[in-house]
Amino acid sequence: MALEASGVPSIAIHTHVFARLARATALANGMPRTRQAFVPQPIVGRSPTNLRAYIEGSDPNSGRPFMQEVIEGLTGALTEEDLRGSSFERSTPRLLAPDTEDNLRQMFIENRWTDFLPIILPTEERVAEMLKGTSHPSDKVVGRLRPARFREFWEFTVEKVAVNAVMAGARPEYFPVILALAASSITARASSTTSFATISVVNGPIRHEIGMDAGIGALGPYNQANATIGRAYGLLSQNLQGGSVPGESYMGSLGNWYAYSAVFAENEERSPWEPLHVQHGFKPTDSTVSVFFGGWYTHAGYGPRETWQEKMRRCLTATEHYNPPLLVLDPIAARGFVELGFDKQKLIEWCAENARLPAREYWDNQWIRTLVHPLAVAGVEPFATRLKAEPEELVQMFQPEDINIVVAGGETQSAWKMFGGAYRGNATISVDAWR
Amino acid sequence: MDRLLTVYDPRGYPPNVTGKRLAQRHESLDGKIVYLVDCLFDNSEAFMEQLQHWFAQHLPAVVTRIIKPRESWEDDPDMRAKIVADGNAAILGVGL
């Protein structure tokens, strides 16, 4: 669309499953008549012969010859609507029209404002109670969210976050954590075809103040704060960013169960190492929440036993390379590594050093090819060096700064898990700032 | 009769939309330079090569040039400037 604005007639080609999304994006950019043509899905893995057949075939949406759509999109006279574009004001009301409880519940479901589990209706009384959980005024702007990079940002206030926190079943004392997540600028409902979710870790005194679980079952449905803070993050993400509707504003092919709720507290008291938030520059007495983006995979192990290195190497090399690992260790497992001479940083460095694949395999990964290869070609390190490797030469998958370790669990087992969890930018947010 | 409840709308605030016009089209692409913008999605390079072959075979009077941004999913102002300076039209793909 930037090219059109510069006077260059353009047409965008998409695969047909993205038709609704492409049109919605064009409308939101004020250019609903932007020219688009569609080919069948997928492009990935198709041979040149297959791709040529797409080009010589029909647009699956219009049924017309694909190249006719392309040529006509770049030629011919423009209509009045083409020249005008589409300007409009949009807003959402503060309150909905009064209705019965059953009708309102049905409206929330039909509008896809829920996660399809029962919600608490956000009445004026309940939202007022939630707002007592923070000192910030209800009309203060908290931040902006969007489902993907190419979508527009929607803005929201403290009150709008409170509405979603009520819906999730959260208590007012949890509200500062929920506001911090809302202020992160990281959506828990990313539209990506790869089905991202978020996993969030709470550190500092707030864990005890609101009764979070860092012990037995910390990662499961056994604590109101853990469960409803995670659920609130999901609901506020989808509603405050303008939706998470399959085929329109959500394109995750498989979806992700972690998107229901994935928040837990670090077991700082039983950990042999400094807590996550201290690693990221906060004081132990600060309260924070850290957001990890991913949830693509989960591996599990126990120990460390005699063969732990082989096991850990297998898990590391089985990760999706574009989603670095977040290791969550039970305190017994963490102390086991201490007995082997590891502090947290040394274990992270061991993981980074031992997560290696043949270059041929590394560069064949779809997301490494799409997102990392262009950087390597442009000379950006460490990717450029990996690109120079011979096909069977082992290349490092991650840098130490890509990998994180958190201690949680109730010491009933020397267990550990490895999740896809990318820590991007300033992903540790102060909870105290939202008290 | 059931009691009526007043509840909040849970949605955020969308930005206003300002209409933007399309660029003037050409009567024909003959003799024109059409940039084929490879958006760097996996295998989009192969698609653009096939598209270039199609033009060479069916519309040889159209000059096509494949061009790539520096990064996936990021605006590349230098690439756009080149297309605006040299090109008469652009086909972008294959992406979202």
| ipTM confidence | 0.94
Is B47 inside a domain boundary? yes
Q: Could you tell me how far CA A365 lies from the centroid of its own chain? A: 20
Q: Which residues from A are below 8 Å from B12, CB to CB?
A: 92, 145, 154-156, 160, 239-242
Is B37 inside a domain boundary? yes
Query: Which are the contacts of A183, defined by CB distance < 8 A and separation ≥ 6?
Result: A142, A143, A429, A433, A434
Is B81 inside a domain boundary? yes
**Could you tell me the pTM of the whole model?**
0.93
Smallest CA–CA distance from B28 into chain A, residue: A75
The residue among A25 and A159 whose pLDDT is bigger is: A159
* pLDDT recorded at residue A346: 98
Is B2 inside a domain boundary? no
Smallest CA–CA distance from B49 into chain A, residue: A48
Across the range A410-422, mean pLDDT stands at 98
Q: Among A35, A43, A153, which would you mutate to test the B interface (most chain B Cβ atoms within 10 Å of its Cβ)?
A: A43
Across the range B23-42, mean pLDDT stands at 95
Q: Which of A1-15, A200-214, A398-412 has the lowest mean pLDDT?
A: A1-15
Instruction: Count up the domains in chain B and report the number.
Output: 1
- pLDDT band per the 50, 70, 90 thresholds, residue B96: low
Dihedral through CA A388, CA A391, CA A393, CA A398, nearest 10?
70
Nearest to A87 among B8, B19, B54 (CB): B19
**Across the interface, do A374 and B68 touch by the CB < 8 Å criterion?**
yes
Across the range A81-97, mean pLDDT stands at 90
The residue among A424 and A414 whose pLDDT is bigger is: A414
pLDDT, tens only, A36-71: 999 999 999 999 999 999 999 999 999 999 999 999
**Across the interface, do B34 and A122 touch by the CB < 8 Å criterion?**
no
Is B89 inside a domain boundary? yes
Is B22 inside a domain boundary? no
Every domain of chain A and the residues it spans: 2-84, 101-355+397-434
Residue A360, strand partner residues: none
What's the rounded Cα separation, in Å, for the pair A92 and A39? 35
Q: A–B: how many Cβ contacts below 8 A?
A: 265
**Across the interface, do B12 and A31 touch by the CB < 8 Å criterion?**
no
- pLDDT band per the 50, 70, 90 thresholds, residue B71: confident
Residue A29 in this model has a pLDDT that exceeds 90: no
Residue B64 in this model has a pLDDT that exceeds 90: yes
Question: What is the average pLDDT value for chain A, to the nearest integer?
Answer: 96
Amino acid of residue A247: G
Is B43 inside a domain boundary? yes
Q: Among B1, B3, B4, B13, which would you mutate to test the A interface (most chain A Cβ atoms within 10 Å of its Cβ)?
A: B13
The range of the structural domain enclosing residue B78 comes to 33-93
Q: Which residues from B are below 8 Å from A145, CB to CB?
A: 12
Is B10 inside a domain boundary? no
Distance from CA of A52 to the nearest CA of B (A): 6
